[in-house]
Amino acid sequence: MILIVYSKIKNVSGLDDNQKIGIKEFLRGKVDDWIANCNGDEFAARDLVGGANRNWSGTPLESIYRKHISLGKSEKAANKAAGVDLGWLFKTMLYEDKRKFSSRKKYVWHYRCVSRIYCGLQLIGKKYYRNVPDNL
């Protein structure tokens, strides 16, 4: 569940349901890794699949880019449009997640997991810890 005020979710067309499921599962894995390793730091989609991680070849994300190339867009236009589609799929994935995320708009949307317990990790203060006794 995502906690966004005045937010909307947009359906991404041109991808079949299996492609969307694969993309969202891939993104969920990226979010899981971020949460487990970054101790509550906020993140944006571009932190997970942009910059040094921008090569989508061989990942489910490649189908988003290929969709735009097949529509006759240039490489540059396809990259930009794929980024927009990815943003909508990313937001939808967070919305469908059982955990809670806070969000805020900077230049792009940034999110932070605010759930108290996450996959065996427990949030104490601003850090996640493993194997926390139940009495804490």
pLDDT tens sequence across 13-68: 999 999 999 999 999 999 989 988 887 789 999 999 998 888 999 999 999 999 99
Tell me if 10 is assigned to some domain.
Answer: no
- Assess whether pLDDT exceeds 50 at residue 136: no
Tell me if 20 is assigned to some domain.
Answer: yes
CA 38, CA 130: separation in Å to the nearest integer?
A: 14
Contact 124, 132 (CB under 8 A): yes
- Label residue 101 exposed, middle or buried (CB < 10 Å: 0-12, 13-18, 19+): buried
Domain that residue 55 falls in: 15-130
Number of domains in the chain: 1
Within 10 Å of residue 81's Cβ, how many Cβ atoms?
17
pTM for the model stands at 0.80
Tell me if 37 is assigned to some domain.
Answer: yes
Per-residue confidence (pLDDT) for residue 40, from 0 to 100: 76
Per-residue confidence (pLDDT) for residue 135, from 0 to 100: 46
Tell me if 125 is assigned to some domain.
Answer: yes
